[in-house]
Amino acid sequence: MKRIFLQSIGLIVVTVLLSMRSHEAWVPLLDKDLTQWENYLSYAHKSGYNGKIPKDASGLALPPIGYNKDHNQVFSILNEADGPVLRISGETYGCLFTKQAYQNYHVKLQVKWGDKKYEPRQNKLRDSGILYHSIGEAGVEYWRSWMLSQEFQIMEGHMGDFWCQANSAIDIRSFQSEGIMNRIADEKQPFGTFKTGSDFYCMRSANHESPAGEWTTLELICFEGKSLHIVNGHVVMVLKNSRYISQNGQEVPMTSGKIQLQSEAAEVFYRDIRIRPLTSLPKEYDQLFL
């Protein structure tokens, strides 16, 4: 009996240790050669862009730059003393995207703005974003630059906002829209639907971005179609039922995919990008979905 008891205790200890190890198993996604990423570049968009494929002076449609043709180093690595830093120049619209697709995970990174801005955002706020559950080919949305996905907005004063990319859809705890006013996230409000042709943009619940020139820590938690946008430790958006609308109008679950980082006419720096798998939603967030 004693032997069985000791074996049981030993099994419990091993299980707990394995659970702890899994919980702490962060995998870095940055290295000096960007070996875990690919890229796509479309166009250096101009002011007045209308969502159509740009044309040359003779009226012929211009082809996008394409996949893995970053000859001008829109995406580059700075080898700093405390680790690699990703620089995205923003000069051309496009994305850096993971080679691997992910499902049920926790991503954590730090972001800081650079000084440079380009058309069509020279007189606008600096902009970038994390696009998650990314599937299919790049260039299917308005700017002809990104994959079908959900967006964790990275923008001056708007860290954690949400955009539908292409024909994606999701439900977000938020105040209803009214007239020209957008919906605003609030964890105490009911879930409202976001999709193309309806509400497709939601503002974060509050501004928790770090002061200019300082790093802001962002976290994205995704589990079974649910997601959380977290800025400097504060949950700014609660989302669920990630999906897309098919060509025949059917709603299709979208709970896994690649991760994109946008190049969107502003210089931005990323560091300490890491990911870990999840076997359940962290307990401290369960009540946000009840």
Tens of pLDDT along 54-84?
999 999 999 999 999 999 999 999 999 999 9
Q: What is the pLDDT of residue 177?
A: 94
Q: How confident is the model at residue 190 (pLDDT cuts 50, 70, 90)?
A: very high
- Which has the closest alpha carbon to 23: 277, 289, 287, 263? 277
* Tokens representing residue 2 in the block: 């004693």
Calculate mean pLDDT across residues 156-163: 98
Tell me how far apart the alpha carbons of residues 275 and 258 are, in angstroms, rounded to a whole number.
12
- Which has the closest alpha carbon to 273: 3, 83, 69? 83
* Tokens representing residue 208 in the block: 């928790």
Per the prediction, the chain carries an average pLDDT of: 93
- H and E: helices and strands count for the chain: 1, 21
Tell me how far apart the alpha carbons of residues 231 and 237 are, in angstroms, rounded to a whole number.
10
Residue 15 has pLDDT above 70, yes or no: no
Q: What is the dihedral of CA 145, 203, 85, 103, to 10 degrees?
A: -70
User: Which tens digit of pLDDT belongs to each residue from 112-122?
Assistant: 999 999 999 99
Q: What is the pLDDT of residue 188?
A: 97
Tell me how far apart the alpha carbons of residues 59 and 88 are, in angstroms, rounded to a whole number.
30
Report whether CATH 3.40.50.300 matches the domain 26-289.
no
> SS3 for 275?
strand
Answer yes or no: are the C-beta atoms of 97 and 40 closer than 8 Å: yes
Q: Which helix (H) or strand (E) holds 77?
A: strand 75-80
CA angle, residues 113, 130, 262, in degrees to nearest 5: 65
193-208 as b/e: b if 16+ CB within 10 A: ebbbeebbebbbbeeb
